[in-house]
Amino acid sequence: MSATQQSLDMLRVASAAADAKGGEDLVALDVSEPLPLVDIFLIVTGRSERNVAAIADEIEDQLLEAGHKRLRREGRKESRWVLLDFGDLVAHVFHEEERMYYGLERLWKDCPIVPIELPERAPAE
């Protein structure tokens, strides 16, 4: 089994939202094989608690605007690791230290990486 077109569309929306708020080191993993209820994990790093919160809020806002229903949100108060569960897509927005500590990429290293295509940014003048 592999990620559905809907989950890939959700990934496109979520990754563009994360990028727009300064999210770094975006990685998407196809976890559909070991996790039958989830297709993709999106992992993003923010540089501060404020940045983590802004990234998570933008991902949530853009996915809701695109018509997707949020099932669960955790960690927003502390903003060190915010988890946004949209069913087919689960976004993990980490502070740098938490991302290194928990190492989700290591835990899910056997899962295929899903390519992320970010929108082109206009060059700064």
Cβ neighbours of residue 5 under 8 Å, at least 6 residues apart? none
pLDDT tops 90 at residue 118: no
Q: What is the pLDDT of residues 3-22, one digit of tens each?
A: 889 999 999 999 999 999 99
> Does the domain at residues 5-114 carry the CATH identifier 3.30.450.20?
no
Residue 35 structure tokens: 């996790």
Length in residues, the chain? 125
Burial class (CB in 10 A: 0-12, 13-18, 19+), 53: buried
Between CA 30 and CA 63 the distance in angstroms is 19
pLDDT computed for residue 124 by the predictor: 57
Q: What is the pLDDT of residues 19-69, one digit of tens each?
A: 999 999 999 999 999 988 899 999 999 999 999 999 999 999 999 999 999
Between CA 93 and CA 54 the distance in angstroms is 10
